[in-house]
Protein backbone atom coordinates (compact mmCIF):
# COMPACT_ATOMS: atom_id res chain seq x y z
CA UNK A 1 0.00 0.00 0.00
CA UNK A 2 1.35 3.42 -0.95
CA UNK A 3 1.68 6.44 1.34
CA UNK A 4 0.43 8.65 -1.50
CA UNK A 5 -3.28 9.35 -0.94
CA UNK A 6 -4.12 11.52 -3.94
CA UNK A 7 -2.55 12.27 -7.30
CA UNK A 8 -4.09 14.96 -9.50
CA UNK A 9 -7.10 15.00 -7.16
CA UNK A 10 -7.85 11.28 -7.47
CA UNK A 11 -7.61 8.83 -4.57
CA UNK A 12 -4.99 6.14 -5.01
CA UNK A 13 -7.58 3.68 -3.67
CA UNK A 14 -9.86 4.28 -6.66
CA UNK A 15 -9.90 2.44 -9.97
CA UNK A 16 -8.54 5.19 -12.22
CA UNK A 17 -6.97 5.32 -15.67
CA UNK A 18 -3.74 6.53 -14.11
CA UNK A 19 -1.77 6.71 -17.34
CA UNK A 20 -4.29 9.11 -18.92
CA UNK A 21 -4.53 11.11 -15.70
CA UNK A 22 -0.75 11.57 -15.54
CA UNK A 23 -0.61 12.55 -19.21
CA UNK A 24 -3.29 15.25 -18.73
CA UNK A 25 -1.59 16.67 -15.59
CA UNK A 26 -4.83 18.40 -14.64
CA UNK A 27 -5.64 19.92 -11.26
CA UNK A 28 -9.38 19.69 -10.45
CA UNK A 29 -9.01 22.36 -7.78
CA UNK A 30 -7.58 24.90 -10.25
CA UNK A 31 -9.56 23.69 -13.27
CA UNK A 32 -6.28 23.76 -15.18
CA UNK A 33 -2.84 22.19 -15.27
CA UNK A 34 -1.17 21.31 -11.97
CA UNK A 35 1.38 24.03 -11.23
CA UNK A 36 3.56 21.91 -8.91
CA UNK A 37 6.36 20.91 -11.27
CA UNK A 38 9.73 19.20 -10.98
CA UNK A 39 12.65 21.61 -10.73
CA UNK A 40 14.71 19.45 -13.06
CA UNK A 41 11.82 18.91 -15.49
CA UNK A 42 9.48 21.94 -15.42
CA UNK A 43 7.19 20.44 -18.05
CA UNK A 44 6.26 17.60 -15.71
CA UNK A 45 3.66 18.25 -13.01
CA UNK A 46 4.09 16.31 -9.77
CA UNK A 47 0.38 16.27 -8.94
CA UNK A 48 0.69 14.86 -5.41
CA UNK A 49 -2.07 16.41 -3.28
CA UNK A 50 -1.92 14.46 -0.03
CA UNK A 51 -0.02 11.68 1.72
CA UNK A 52 -0.19 9.56 4.83
CA UNK A 53 2.50 10.04 7.42
CA UNK A 54 3.92 8.23 10.46
CA UNK A 55 2.82 4.95 11.95
CA UNK A 56 -0.64 6.36 12.57
CA UNK A 57 -1.03 6.93 8.83
CA UNK A 58 -2.13 10.50 9.47
CA UNK A 59 -3.61 11.94 6.26
CA UNK A 60 -1.73 15.13 5.48
CA UNK A 61 -2.39 17.70 2.74
CA UNK A 62 0.89 18.83 1.16
CA UNK A 63 -0.42 21.06 -1.65
CA UNK A 64 -2.14 24.32 -0.58
CA UNK A 65 -4.32 24.27 -3.70
CA UNK A 66 -5.94 21.07 -2.40
CA UNK A 67 -7.72 23.35 0.07
CA UNK A 68 -9.66 24.94 -2.81
CA UNK A 69 -12.02 21.95 -2.95
CA UNK A 70 -15.50 23.12 -4.04
CA UNK A 71 -14.45 26.61 -2.93
CA UNK A 72 -15.60 25.81 0.58
CA UNK A 73 -12.97 28.05 2.13
CA UNK A 74 -14.43 31.12 0.42
CA UNK A 75 -17.99 30.32 1.48
CA UNK A 76 -16.73 29.83 5.03
CA UNK A 77 -15.17 33.31 4.91
CA UNK A 78 -18.19 35.26 3.64
CA UNK A 79 -19.30 36.29 7.13
CA UNK A 80 -16.11 38.33 7.52
CA UNK A 81 -17.10 40.67 4.67
CA UNK A 82 -18.56 43.21 7.07
CA UNK A 83 -19.77 45.68 4.41
CA UNK A 84 -21.08 43.15 1.88
CA UNK A 85 -24.72 43.63 0.85
CA UNK A 86 -27.14 41.61 -1.29
CA UNK A 87 -26.70 42.57 -4.93
CA UNK A 88 -22.95 43.05 -4.69
CA UNK A 89 -20.75 40.87 -6.85
CA UNK A 90 -18.28 38.52 -5.22
CA UNK A 91 -14.81 38.13 -6.74
CA UNK A 92 -11.87 35.90 -5.87
CA UNK A 93 -8.66 37.73 -6.75
CA UNK A 94 -5.38 35.79 -6.52
CA UNK A 95 -2.00 37.04 -5.35
CA UNK A 96 -2.33 40.68 -4.36
CA UNK A 97 0.89 42.25 -3.05
CA UNK A 98 0.92 43.83 0.40
CA UNK A 99 3.82 44.84 2.67
CA UNK A 100 5.55 41.63 3.70
CA UNK A 101 4.71 39.67 0.56
CA UNK A 102 1.65 38.70 -1.43
CA UNK A 103 -1.64 37.29 -0.15
CA UNK A 104 -2.84 34.10 -1.84
CA UNK A 105 -6.44 35.22 -2.39
CA UNK A 106 -8.71 38.16 -1.73
CA UNK A 107 -12.43 37.51 -1.37
CA UNK A 108 -13.90 40.79 -2.55
CA UNK A 109 -17.33 42.43 -2.45
CA UNK A 110 -17.82 44.68 -5.47
CA UNK A 111 -20.57 47.11 -6.47
CA UNK A 112 -20.52 49.04 -9.75
CA UNK A 113 -16.95 47.83 -10.39
CA UNK A 114 -15.77 49.37 -7.12
CA UNK A 115 -14.40 47.44 -4.15
CA UNK A 116 -16.73 47.70 -1.16
CA UNK A 117 -15.04 45.22 1.15
CA UNK A 118 -12.50 42.40 1.15
CA UNK A 119 -10.81 39.75 3.26
CA UNK A 120 -7.38 38.26 2.66
CA UNK A 121 -6.98 34.48 2.63
CA UNK A 122 -3.67 32.67 3.05
CA UNK A 123 -3.40 28.93 2.34
CA UNK A 124 -0.87 26.89 4.27
CA UNK A 125 -0.22 23.17 4.22
CA UNK A 126 2.69 21.18 5.64
CA UNK A 127 5.94 21.27 3.69
CA UNK A 128 7.86 18.07 3.13
CA UNK A 129 11.51 17.34 3.72
CA UNK A 130 12.94 15.55 0.76
CA UNK A 131 10.70 14.78 -2.18
CA UNK A 132 7.57 12.67 -2.61
CA UNK A 133 8.55 11.94 -6.23
CA UNK A 134 10.08 8.48 -5.55
CA UNK A 135 6.98 7.33 -3.64
CA UNK A 136 4.74 8.73 -6.36
CA UNK A 137 6.69 6.94 -9.08
CA UNK A 138 6.67 3.62 -7.25
CA UNK A 139 2.89 3.79 -6.98
CA UNK A 140 2.44 4.70 -10.64
CA UNK A 141 4.77 1.88 -11.60
CA UNK A 142 2.69 -0.57 -9.56
CA UNK A 143 -0.47 0.45 -11.46
CA UNK A 144 1.27 0.36 -14.84
CA UNK A 145 1.36 4.12 -15.39
CA UNK A 146 5.12 4.79 -15.12
CA UNK A 147 8.37 3.16 -16.18
CA UNK A 148 10.91 3.54 -13.37
CA UNK A 149 13.61 1.15 -14.56
CA UNK A 150 16.09 3.92 -15.36
CA UNK A 151 15.12 6.39 -12.63
CA UNK A 152 17.58 7.00 -9.81
CA UNK A 153 16.99 7.80 -6.18
CA UNK A 154 13.72 5.91 -5.87
CA UNK A 155 14.80 4.56 -2.49
CA UNK A 156 14.67 8.03 -0.94
CA UNK A 157 11.96 8.83 1.60
CA UNK A 158 10.22 12.08 2.49
CA UNK A 159 9.31 13.59 5.84
CA UNK A 160 7.14 16.36 7.27
CA UNK A 161 8.82 19.68 8.02
CA UNK A 162 6.56 20.68 10.90
CA UNK A 163 8.89 23.10 12.69
CA UNK A 164 9.97 25.15 9.68
CA UNK A 165 6.46 25.24 8.22
CA UNK A 166 4.98 26.51 11.48
CA UNK A 167 7.67 29.13 12.15
CA UNK A 168 7.61 30.45 8.57
CA UNK A 169 3.82 30.63 8.62
CA UNK A 170 3.71 32.77 11.76
CA UNK A 171 6.47 35.09 10.54
CA UNK A 172 4.66 35.68 7.25
CA UNK A 173 1.38 36.32 9.03
CA UNK A 174 3.03 38.84 11.31
CA UNK A 175 4.46 40.67 8.32
CA UNK A 176 0.98 41.10 6.84
CA UNK A 177 -1.50 41.35 9.70
CA UNK A 178 -0.52 44.92 10.62
CA UNK A 179 -1.66 46.01 7.19
CA UNK A 180 -5.07 44.38 7.52
CA UNK A 181 -5.63 45.61 11.04
CA UNK A 182 -4.79 49.18 10.06
CA UNK A 183 -7.54 48.94 7.41
CA UNK A 184 -10.01 47.27 9.80
CA UNK A 185 -10.09 44.17 7.60
CA UNK A 186 -9.56 40.46 8.22
CA UNK A 187 -6.74 38.15 7.23
CA UNK A 188 -7.59 34.44 7.34
CA UNK A 189 -5.15 31.56 7.58
CA UNK A 190 -6.72 28.47 6.02
CA UNK A 191 -4.90 25.33 7.05
CA UNK A 192 -5.29 21.70 8.08
CA UNK A 193 -6.26 21.03 11.70
CA UNK A 194 -3.07 19.07 12.38
CA UNK A 195 -0.91 22.10 11.54
CA UNK A 196 -2.98 24.40 13.75
CA UNK A 197 -2.65 21.81 16.55
CA UNK A 198 1.13 21.93 16.10
CA UNK A 199 1.11 25.74 16.30
CA UNK A 200 -0.94 25.65 19.50
CA UNK A 201 1.37 23.12 21.15
CA UNK A 202 4.71 24.61 20.11
CA UNK A 203 4.14 28.38 20.18
CA UNK A 204 2.55 30.84 22.60
CA UNK A 205 -1.12 30.41 21.68
CA UNK A 206 -2.76 30.77 25.09
CA UNK A 207 -4.15 34.18 24.12
CA UNK A 208 -5.63 32.90 20.82
CA UNK A 209 -9.29 32.14 21.50
CA UNK A 210 -12.52 31.12 19.77
CA UNK A 211 -13.13 33.25 16.71
CA UNK A 212 -14.46 36.77 17.14
CA UNK A 213 -15.36 38.97 14.16
CA UNK A 214 -13.65 41.90 15.83
CA UNK A 215 -10.23 40.23 15.59
CA UNK A 216 -8.21 40.95 12.48
CA UNK A 217 -6.39 37.59 12.40
CA UNK A 218 -8.60 34.57 11.82
CA UNK A 219 -7.58 30.89 11.78
CA UNK A 220 -9.78 28.41 9.88
CA UNK A 221 -8.76 24.78 10.42
CA UNK A 222 -10.03 21.98 8.19
CA UNK A 223 -10.05 18.26 8.85
CA UNK A 224 -8.94 16.15 5.91
CA UNK A 225 -10.07 12.57 5.55
CA UNK A 226 -12.37 10.15 3.82
CA UNK A 227 -16.05 10.98 3.61
CA UNK A 228 -18.27 8.67 1.59
CA UNK A 229 -15.23 6.93 0.12
CA UNK A 230 -13.67 10.18 -1.13
CA UNK A 231 -11.10 12.42 0.52
CA UNK A 232 -12.55 15.77 1.47
CA UNK A 233 -12.07 18.77 3.74
CA UNK A 234 -14.47 20.19 6.31
CA UNK A 235 -14.17 23.15 8.64
CA UNK A 236 -13.73 21.96 12.23
CA UNK A 237 -12.45 24.96 14.20
CA UNK A 238 -12.04 28.71 14.05
CA UNK A 239 -9.77 30.82 16.25
CA UNK A 240 -8.79 34.47 16.18
CA UNK A 241 -6.52 37.14 17.61
CA UNK A 242 -5.22 40.57 16.63
CA UNK A 243 -1.90 41.83 15.28
CA UNK A 244 -0.44 42.12 18.77
CA UNK A 245 -1.49 38.52 19.40
CA UNK A 246 0.36 37.28 16.33
CA UNK A 247 3.43 39.17 17.51
CA UNK A 248 3.12 37.55 20.93
CA UNK A 249 3.49 34.14 19.27
CA UNK A 250 6.92 35.16 17.98
CA UNK A 251 8.01 38.13 20.07
CA UNK A 252 8.37 40.31 16.96
CA UNK A 253 7.67 43.98 16.42
CA UNK A 254 4.93 45.42 14.23
CA UNK A 255 5.41 46.04 10.52
CA UNK A 256 4.71 49.41 8.86
CA UNK A 257 1.11 50.13 7.94
CA UNK A 258 -0.27 50.86 4.49
CA UNK A 259 -3.20 52.93 3.33
CA UNK A 260 -6.53 51.31 2.45
CA UNK A 261 -6.63 53.01 -0.94
CA UNK A 262 -3.42 51.38 -2.08
CA UNK A 263 -4.76 47.86 -1.56
CA UNK A 264 -8.09 48.73 -3.19
CA UNK A 265 -6.30 50.06 -6.27
CA UNK A 266 -4.29 46.84 -6.60
CA UNK A 267 -7.44 44.71 -6.31
CA UNK A 268 -9.48 46.77 -8.79
CA UNK A 269 -6.76 46.38 -11.42
CA UNK A 270 -7.26 42.61 -11.22
CA UNK A 271 -11.07 42.52 -11.29
CA UNK A 272 -12.52 40.77 -14.32
CA UNK A 273 -15.25 38.33 -15.35
CA UNK A 274 -12.70 35.62 -14.63
CA UNK A 275 -12.46 36.54 -10.95
CA UNK A 276 -16.23 36.41 -10.33
CA UNK A 277 -17.10 34.02 -7.52
CA UNK A 278 -19.77 31.63 -8.74
CA UNK A 279 -21.05 28.89 -6.45
CA UNK A 280 -21.48 25.79 -8.60
User: What digits encode the pLDDT tens for the residues 117-147?
Assistant: 999 999 999 999 988 999 999 999 999 888 8
pLDDT confidence of residue 104: 97
- Give the model's confidence band at 180: pLDDT under 50 very low, under 70 low, under 90 confident, else very high: very high
- Give the model's confidence band at 252: pLDDT under 50 very low, under 70 low, under 90 confident, else very high: very low
Whether residues 134 and 204 fall in one domain: no
Query: Is the model's pLDDT at 26 over the cut of 50?
Result: yes
pLDDT confidence of residue 257: 56
Whether residues 134 and 234 fall in one domain: no
Least confident stretch, 18-32, 61-75, 145-159, 235-249: 145-159
Whether residues 139 and 248 fall in one domain: no
Whether residues 88 and 50 fall in one domain: no
Whether residues 119 and 145 fall in one domain: no
Average pLDDT, the chain: 90
Whether residues 55 and 193 fall in one domain: no
pLDDT confidence of residue 56: 74
For 159: left if phi > 0, alpha if psi spans -120 to 50, otherwise beta; the answer is beta
pLDDT confidence of residue 251: 58
Whether residues 241 and 149 fall in one domain: no
Q: How many domains does the chain have?
A: 2
Mean pLDDT over 215-237 rounds to: 94
Domain range spanning residue 7? Answer: 1-62+130-159
Whether residues 208 and 263 fall in one domain: yes
- Whole-angstrom CA distances from 70 to 65, 124, 188, 238, 247 are 11, 17, 18, 19, 33
- Give the model's confidence band at 258: pLDDT under 50 very low, under 70 low, under 90 confident, else very high: low
Which of 140, 159, 178 corresponds to the end of one domain?
Answer: 159
Mean pLDDT over 39-66 rounds to: 91
Distance (Å, whole) CA 128 – CA 55: 17
Whether residues 198 and 100 fall in one domain: yes
Whether residues 134 and 241 fall in one domain: no
Which of 142, 159, 176 corresponds to the end of one domain?
Answer: 159
Whether residues 144 and 266 fall in one domain: no
Amino acid sequence: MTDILEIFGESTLDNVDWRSLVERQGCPFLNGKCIKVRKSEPDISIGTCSVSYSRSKQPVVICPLRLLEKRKIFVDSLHLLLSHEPGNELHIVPEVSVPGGSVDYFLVSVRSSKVVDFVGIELQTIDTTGTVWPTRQRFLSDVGAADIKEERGLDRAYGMNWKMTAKTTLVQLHHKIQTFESMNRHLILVTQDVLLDYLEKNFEFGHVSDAKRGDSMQFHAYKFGQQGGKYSIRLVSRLSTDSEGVGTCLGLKAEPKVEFGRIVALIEKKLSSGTLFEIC
